[in-house]
Chains A and B, each alone.
Chain A
C-alpha cells in the first residue's frame, strides 16, 4: 500500500525535511518536501497528496494557518501537525481544525511508524470505500434493468439525463412495468446516491396515516403516538423520496404536498417547529394524471409541480423483443436464489411467452418464470409448466378478471388447493386469496 500513498513534508529546517524524507522513502512512500507553507500550498494546488506532515513553527504562514487553507482546498486530506514546542492548546486546536493527529519532535521511531501506518490505512480504506460504493451503484444499474428494445433504450437515456438534475420526475406506466426500478436507477445515478432513497406507497395508507408517515409526528400528537417520529421527508434529507401511486392521495394531502414541494419546509403532526429538508421528489402512477386533472380529481398546480420531467415506461407487449432476455434474467435470478442448476426453456414455451399479452407486464412474467422453476422438472421450462401453456393464444381478448380467475384456479389445482403455498406462489396473502376464491366462486374439483 505504501507504494501508492503520497506524502508531503512541510518544514523550514532542512535537516528535518531530509531526515523525514529518508525515513519515509525507505518505507516505500512517494515523498516530496516543501520548506514553507506557500510552497506547500502551491504544490497541493498542482498535485494530490494523501498525507501532509506540517510543522507548526515556520516563518511567514504558520502550520495551523496552512492547515486551515489545506482543509479549504481538500477537506479529505490527512494532515499531521508536528512541532518542537508541545502545548495542549495547540494540539486541541489542531484536532478541532480537523488534523488527523499531532506529534511532538523528536518522535519515538515506533510512534512515527504507527502514526503513518494508521494514516496510510485510512487512505487505503477511503479508496476501498469509494470503489465498493461505485461497484454497488453499477451493479444496481446494469443488472436490474433488462432490455435492449428501442423503447427501453429511450427510457434509459431519459434516466441518464434526468439523473444529473434535481427536477421532479413523474414515472408513468402500467402496473408491473418496473417504475420503482427506474426511480432507483435515477437516484443511484444522481449526486444524491450516497443519501437515502425513501419509498412511500401512497395507495397503501389512509389519509391520516400518510400524513404522519410523510411529515412525522410529535409524542402525544394522537392516540398511540408514544414517541416522536421522523417523517419520510425528514429521513430523505439529502436524498430522494419516491412517492408511488401518487394518484391515490386525497385532495387535502395534495395541498399539503404542494406546500412542502414549494418550500421544502414542514411541521411534524402535533408539532410547531418548522423542519427543513433537502430532498428530490420522484412520483409514479399507472393512471393518466392529465386526465385526472381535467376531471378535477388531481390539482393542476401540483401536477405541474411534479411533472417537470415525465418518463413513460413501455408495457411488456410494446417491447416483446425483450422477453427472451427477461426470461433468461429471471431464470438465472431464481435458479441462483433457489440454489439450483441453471435450466433452459424449451422453444415452444418461449414462443408462447412471446405471443402472450402480459397484462401484468414484467411482474407477471417474473412470477410465471419463478413458478415454472418451482413446479417444473428441474431441467428446462416446458410449455406445460406455464400457467398460459394450455390456453390458446386467442385468450388475449379475455378480460383481466378472467385471466386472474384462470390463473388462480390453475395455481390452486396445481398445488392441490393448498392455500398457504398457493398464496405464496401468487405473492398475495392468504386473506386476499380467500377473497379472490370467494369473488370468482372457485371450487375444488372432484378428485382433486
Chain B
C-alpha cells in the first residue's frame, strides 16, 4: 500500500528521517527536497507517498484541515523504529487555538506536519516563485525536524529554528542551524 522510494543509498543508521507526502507533489520535487534536507539534518532521508482521506480532517467552519489530528495520524501510521516523520501537505492547516499554522511537530516526538499552502507567493498577491517556495519548504521541514529532536525556538535571526509566524520571518532565516542549535542537536543525539 505504501510506496517507498529511497532518495539515496545510505548505510543503515539508528535514526532515519521520513518525509511522507499527501497531495500532488511531483516525485522529482520530493527527491530534491530530501536531498536538501539530508545534509542539514545529517541523517538519511527517505520519501514516501502517503494515502489517506483528508476530508476526515477537514473543518468546514474554518475551511482548513486540523493539524493536530493529522500529526496524531502520522505518528500512529508512520513513526516506527525511531523514525522522525514529517507529513507534507498542500492544504491549509490549523490547530484549534490558532488561525493557521505553517508547520507543527511533537516536541521531542517522532511526528510533524508542514504545509505548502501558506508558503506560496501567490497567497500574498506576489508573483509565483518556485525557487523561493522550495527554499521556504526546506526551511520549515528542517525547523519541524529540529523540534522533534529537542530544539526550541532560537533568537538568532538567521537560524532555521527561529520562530516564523509570517512568511517574511521564513525568508529572513536560513536553511541551517546556528552554532548553538547545532551543538544542542549533537548533544541530543
Contact = CB atoms under 8 A, between A and B. Distances in A.
Interface of A: 2, 13, 15-16, 18-20, 22-23, 25-28, 82, 105-110, 112-113
A19 B104 CA distance: 10
B106 A22 contact: yes
A18 B95 CA distance: 10
B137 interface: no
Nearest to B104: A22
Interface string B64-101: 00001000000000000000000000000011111111
Interface in B85-140: 94-101, 104, 106-107
Contacts of B98: 19, 23, 106-109, 112
Pick the 9 closest A-B CB pairs, nearest first.
Answer: A109-B165, A28-B152, A110-B165, A19-B95, A15-B96, A19-B97, A25-B107, A106-B99, A27-B153
Given A19-B68, A22-B107, A110-B166, A27 B97 contact: no
Given A19-B98, A106-B98, A107-B98, 10 more contacts: A2-B153, A13-B96, A19-B68, A19-B95, A23-B98, A26-B163, A27-B163, A82-B97, A108-B99, A108-B165
B147 interface: yes
Nearest to A29: B152
Main secondary structure on chain A at its contact with chain B?
helix
Interface in B150-180: 152-153, 163, 165-166
Interface residues of B, number: 18
A107 B68 contact: no
Contacts of A16: 96-97
A112 B107 CA distance: 19
A244 B98 CA distance: 63
Contacts of B96: 13, 15-16, 19, 105-106
Contacts, number: 58
- Tell me which of B97, B106, B152, B153 has the highest count of chain A C-beta atoms within 10 A of its own C-beta: B97
Contacts of A106: 94, 96-99
A54 to B, nearest CB: 13
Contacts of A26: 107, 147, 152-153, 163
A20 B166 contact: no
Contacts of B100: 109
22 contacts: A2-B152, A15-B95, A15-B96, A16-B96, A19-B96, A19-B97, A20-B97, A22-B104, A23-B97, A25-B107, A26-B147, A26-B163, A27-B152, A28-B153, A105-B96, A106-B97, A107-B97, A107-B98, A109-B100, A109-B101, A110-B166, A112-B97
- Tell me which of A22, A26, A107 has the highest count of chain B C-beta atoms within 10 A of its own C-beta: A26
Contacts of B104: 22
A27 B100 CA distance: 17
Contacts of A107: 97-99
A28 B106 CA distance: 14
A290 B139 CA distance: 83
A87 to B, nearest CB: 19
Contacts of A2: 152-153
A18 B107 contact: no
Nearest to B108: A25
Nearest to A22: B107
A120 B95 CA distance: 23
Contacts of B107: 22, 25-26
A30 B153 CA distance: 13
Contacts of A105: 96-97
- Tell me which of A19, A107, A112 has the highest count of chain B C-beta atoms within 10 A of its own C-beta: A19
A24 to B, nearest CB: 10
B130 to A, nearest CB: 25
A107 B152 CA distance: 21
A97 B94 CA distance: 32
Contacts of B97: 16, 19-20, 23, 82, 105-107, 112
A18 B68 contact: yes
B148 to A, nearest CB: 11
A27 B161 CA distance: 10
A18 B104 CA distance: 12
Nearest to B94: A106
Contacts of A82: 97
Contacts of B68: 15, 18-19
A212 to B, nearest CB: 56
- Tell me which of A18, A28, A108, A109 has the highest count of chain B C-beta atoms within 10 A of its own C-beta: A109
Contacts of A15: 68, 95-96
B119 to A, nearest CB: 14
Contacts of A28: 152-153
Nearest to B146: A26
A15 B107 CA distance: 16
Contacts of B99: 106-109
A348 B59 CA distance: 92
A113 B107 CA distance: 18
Nearest to A110: B165
A112 B101 CA distance: 12
A295 B106 CA distance: 85
A86 to B, nearest CB: 14
Contacts of B101: 109
Nearest to A25: B107
A80 to B, nearest CB: 12
Nearest to A1: B155
A16 B66 CA distance: 12
